[in-house]
Structure 1
Amino acid sequence: MTLPNQLTILRIVLTPIFVVLLVSENISFKQISLLVYVIAALTDWYDGWIARKFGYTTQWGRFLDPLADKILTSSAFISFASLHLVETWMVVIIVIRDILITLLRSYAELKNKPVITTKSAKAKTFIQMIFIYYLLFAYVLNLSFEGINLELSILHPTLIYWLMLFVTVLTLWTGVVYLCDNWKIIKTLYVPAGKRASESI
C-alpha cells in the first residue's frame, strides 16, 4: 500500500476518535479533538501532495481519498448538530448531498470513467472546511475561556445559523451543477455494456 493510501486510511481511523473526543463532557477531550481534526485534515493535504509529486496515484486511492474526506467533514457536521451548534436539517442536506456525489464519483473512478470536479464543487469544499475550522475553534475557545463571554462575538447563534445556511445552500447548489455538468458521463455508467455496444454500431 502506497504512503498516500496509508494516510487516507489514517484519516478514516482518526475520524471516530475526533467525534468521541468532541462530543464528550470533558473540556480537555474537546480541546484534544481540535488537534486530532487538524492532524486528520493535514493528512488530506499531505497525501495529495505526495501523490502528485511522486506519481503515487492508484485507482484505489482515487476511490478512497474523496470518500475519506467526506467521512471526516460529514462527521464534523453531525457532531456539531449533536452539540446543538447547527440545525439538524441543514446537516442532513449537506451529508446526503456529499455522500451521494462522492459515491457517484468513486463508482465512476472504479469504472475508469472519472467525472469532472467542477470549480464550484472545489470552492464548496474549501468553504465547508473554513466553516468547520471556524466553528470548531470558536466552540473549543469559548469552552476553554468560559466566563469571558466570547459567545457574544464568534459563537453567536444567529451568526452561526446564517453561516451554516449559506454553506447548506452552496452545497446543495453545487450538487445540482455537478450532476448537470457530468450528466452524459453519468448516463453511461448505468447503461448495460451490451446496449452500449449496439448503440455504437
Structure 2
Amino acid sequence: YMTANAITLFRLFLTFVVLGVYGQHYYIDIACVITIFIIFNLDTVDGIVARKRGETSTFGAVFDIAADRIVENVFWIYFAYIDLIPVWMPIAVVTRGFLIDGIRSIALTDGKTAFEMMTIPWARALTSSRFSRFLYGFTKVIAFLFLATIPILEESQLDSSLISIFSTTTDVIAIIAVAMCLIRGFPVLIDGWKYVKENAQ
C-alpha cells in the first residue's frame, strides 16, 4: 500500500476521531485543535511523499482530492451542526464540490486530471497555482482552527468582549474561506464545460 495514500487515509481517520471526541472535555478540545492543524499539514505531506517516492498516480490524485473534500465538508457541516456558523456555508461548499467533482470526473474519462484539465491561463492560475492553493488552504485552516477554539475560550473564563471580538473575526474569516471556495470553483465550470459538451453529444 502506497505510503502517500496511507497518509491520506490517516488524515480521514484523524478527522473522524476529532468529531467523535470534540466537546467532551476542555483539554480534549485543545488536543482536537492541535489535531486539526496536523490533519491539514498532512495534506501537504502526502503530496510531497507521493512525488519523492514516485507514487503519483491517477488513483492517488483522485483519492487525495476526495479526501480533501471529505475533510473540508465534514468540518463545515460539523461547525454548522454545533451552531458556530450558519447552515448556508456547508450547503454552498458541498454544492460547489458536487458540481466541480462532477465536471472533473467527466474530464478524467478523457484522461485529464483535475489540474491537467485547466487550459485557460487565468483559470489555471486561480485554481492550480501554488499561491492560490496556499491562500485558500491557509484561510480555510485558520477558519477551522478559530471555530474549534471558540468553545474553549468560552469555557476559559476569558473576558466576554474579547471572546466576542474573536468570534466576529472568525465569522469574517469563515465567510472569506467560503467565498474563496466558490470563486476558485468558477474557472473549473468555465474550463471544464467543453468536456461536458463533448460527452453530452
If the TM-score is normalised by the length of the shorter chain, which range does it land in? Answer: 0.7 to 0.9
2:140, 2:174 within 8 Å by CA — same for their partners in 1?
Answer: no
* Counterpart pick for 1:184 among 184, 194, 198: 194
Correspondence for 1:152:
164
Correspondence for 1:135:
147
SS at match of 2:41: helix
SS at match of 1:155: helix
Partner Cα distance (1:32, 1:110) in 2: 42
1:21, 1:29 within 8 Å by CA — same for their partners in 2?
Answer: yes
2:103, 2:193 within 8 Å by CA — same for their partners in 1?
Answer: no
Displacement of 1:63: 1.0
CA 30–111 in structure 1, closer or farther in 2 if over 3 Å, else same = farther
Displacement of 1:3: 0.2
SS at match of 1:142: helix
* Counterpart pick for 1:172 among 166, 182, 186: 182
Partner Cα distance (2:95, 2:155) in 1: 33
Displacement of 1:126: 3.9
1:8, 1:43 within 8 Å by CA — same for their partners in 2?
Answer: yes
Displacement of 1:74: 1.2
Displacement of 1:186: 4.0
Number of corresponding residues: 187
Partner Cα distance (1:118, 1:129) in 2: 22
Give 1:130's aligned amino acid. Answer: I
* Counterpart pick for 2:124 among 118, 125, 141: 118
CA 147–126 in structure 1, closer or farther in 2 if over 3 Å, else same = closer
Correspondence for 1:6:
6
Correspondence for 1:45:
44
The two structures have a TM-score, normalised by structure 2, of 0.78
The unaligned stretches of length 5 or more in structure 1 are: 196-201
Displacement of 1:140: 5.2
Partner Cα distance (1:85, 1:26) in 2: 18
1:67, 1:106 within 8 Å by CA — same for their partners in 2?
Answer: no
The unaligned stretches of length 5 or more in structure 2 are: 128-132
Give 1:6's aligned amino acid. Answer: A
Larger Rg: 1
Partner Cα distance (2:184, 2:43) in 1: 21
Displacement of 1:95: 2.0
Partner Cα distance (2:16, 2:102) in 1: 20
Deviations 1:63-111 (A, max 9, x none): 1001101111111111111121111112211122124323543564465
Correspondence for 1:198:
none
2:12, 2:71 within 8 Å by CA — same for their partners in 1?
Answer: yes
1:163 pairs with 2:173? yes
Among all aligned residue pairs of Structure 1 and Structure 2, give the percentage whose two residues are the same amino acid: 24
Give 1:152's aligned amino acid. Answer: S
Correspondence for 2:130:
none
Give 2:136's aligned amino acid. Answer: K
CA 73–147 in structure 1, closer or farther in 2 if over 3 Å, else same = same
Correspondence for 1:88:
87
CA 120–44 in structure 1, closer or farther in 2 if over 3 Å, else same = same
Displacement of 1:148: 3.5
Partner Cα distance (1:107, 1:41) in 2: 28
Correspondence for 1:72:
71
